[in-house]
Amino acid sequence: MSAAEPGGDARPATDGGRAERRDGQSHLTARAAIGPGWLTLLHKELLRFWKVSFQTIAAPILTSLLYLLIFSHVLESRVAVFDNQVRYTAFLVPGLVMMSVLQNSFANSSSSLIQSKITGNLFFVLVTPLSPGELFAAYVVGAMVRGIAVGLGVLAVTVWFSPALLAMPHPLFALAFALLGSAILGTLGLVAGIWADKFDQLAAFQNFLIVPLTFLAGVFYSIHTLPPFWQALSHFNPFFYMIDGFRYGFFGLSDVPPTVSLAVVAACAASLATLALVLLERGWKLRH
Partner 1 sequence: MTAAVEVVDIARQFGRVQALAGVSLAVERGEFFGLLGPNGAGKTTLISVLAGLVRPDRGNARILGHDVVSDYRAARRSLGVVPQELVFDPFFTVRETLRIQSGYFGLRSNDDWIDEILHNLDLTSKADANMRALSGGMKRRVLVGQALVHKPPVIVLDEPTAGVDVELRQSLWAFIRKLNRDGHTIILTTHYLEEAEALCARIAMLKAGRVVALDTTRNLLSRFAGLTLRLTAAEIPPPWQARVLRREGRTAYIGLATYDDLERLLADMRMAGIRIEELALAETDLEQVFLRIMSGRDEPDDTRPVEAVPEA
CB of 163 to partner 1, least distance (A): 38
- CA distances in angstroms from 38 to 41, 74, 118, listed in the order given: 5, 47, 22
Cβ 1 to partner 1 shortest distance, Å: 6
Centroid of chain to Cα 190: 10
User: How many residues line the site for partner 1 (CB under 8 A)?
Assistant: 49
With contacts defined by CB under 8 A, name the span among 36-44, 53-61, 102-110, 191-199 that binds partner 1: 36-44
Distances (CA, A) of 287 to 117, 126, 135, 223, 279: 12, 8, 13, 44, 10
**φ, ψ for residue 26, nearest 5 deg:** -70, 135
- For residue 121, state whether it binds partner 1 (rule: CB under 8 A): yes
Stretch that binds partner 1, among 78-86, 183-191, 257-265, 280-288 (CB under 8 A): 280-288
Contact flag: residue 287 with partner 1 (CB under 8 A): yes
Question: DSSP string covering 71-139, please?
Answer: HHHHHTTT--BGGGTB-HHHHHHHHHHHHHHHHHHHHHHHHHHHHHHHHSTTHHHHTSS--HHHHHHHH
Q: Is 142 in the site for partner 1 (CB under 8 A)?
A: no
User: Using CA atoms, how far apart are residues 148 and 178, in angstroms rounded to an integer?
Assistant: 7
Smallest distance from the beta carbon of 210 to partner 1, in angstroms? 24
CB of 2 vs partner 1, minimal distance in Å: 7
Which among 25-33, 146-154, 197-205, 264-272 is the span making contact with partner 1, rule CB under 8 A? 25-33
Options 36, 157, 266, 285; binder of partner 1; rule CB under 8 A: 36
- Return the residue of 53, 63, 131, 237 that touches partner 1, per CB under 8 A: 131
Task: Give the C-alpha distances (Å, rounded to integers) separating 270 from 152, 154, 262.
Answer: 25, 27, 12
Residue 167 near partner 1 by CB under 8 A: no
Q: Would you say 135 or 243 has its CB closer to partner 1?
A: 135
Q: Hey, which residues does 26 pair with through a beta bridge?
A: 20
The answer to whether the CB of 162 falls within 8 A of the CB of 132 is: no
> What track of x and - describes contact with partner 1 for positions 80 through 119 (by CB under 8 A)?
------------------------------------x--x
Report the interface residues with partner 1, using CB under 8 A.
1-15, 28-29, 31-37, 39-41, 43-44, 47-48, 51-52, 116, 119-121, 123-131, 283, 287-288
